[in-house]
Each structure stands twice: as structure tokens, then as C-alpha cells.
Amino acid sequence: MKGPMRLHYDEKGDFLEISAGKPTACYADEIEPGVFLRKDEKTDEVKGIGILNFKKRSKNLKDIDVKVPIEITIG
């Protein structure tokens, strides 16, 4: 994931989405129940991650350990 990072939380749907870079056409792979990786349709580059039932997961203090390649640039 490269580029500006965006976080969006849909409280009604209890869905957290983290994305980076310029939006492109993507598909999603469910890597574990309720956790989705969004990948670019043409390049398979990881563009984001979505977590369903985020509040419920965080209330149970269950760690969400997802290994996602990421590049961070500051400044």
C-alpha cells in the first residue's frame, strides 16, 4: 500500500476501512472471517483492508493481526 492513507468507519455497519493511494477498481479477498484485503484488479497490489464488526472485535480485545505490505512516507 503506497500513497496517502485514509481511514473510514461506518458506525451503522460497524465496518472499518483503511486504504492507501489513488482509488482504483478493486476486488476483495476475505483473508479470515470478516477481514478483507482490497486488491487492484490489474496489478494485484494491496490497496486497502476492511474489518467487519470492528467495535465488537475491539470490545473483546481480540488482536487483529494482519500482515499487509505497507510503505510510509513522512513529510
44 lies in a domain? yes
Does residue 64 lie in a domain region? no
Q: Give the count of domains, the chain.
A: 1
Residue 27 lies in a domain: yes
- What is the distance, to the nearest Å, from the Cα of residue 35 to the centroid of all Cα atoms in its chain? 8
Give a yes or no: residue 23 inside a domain: yes
pTM score over 0.75 = no
C-alpha span between 52 and 36 (Å, rounded) = 8
Residue 28, beta-bridge partner list: 38
Q: Is residue 67 part of a domain?
A: no
Reading the chain (75 residues) residue by residue, the pLDDT tens digits are 667 888 899 999 999 999 988 888 999 999 989 999 999 999 998 899 999 998 887 775 455 555 555 565 555
Q: Which domain holds residue 41?
A: 5-56
Q: Is residue 72 part of a domain?
A: no
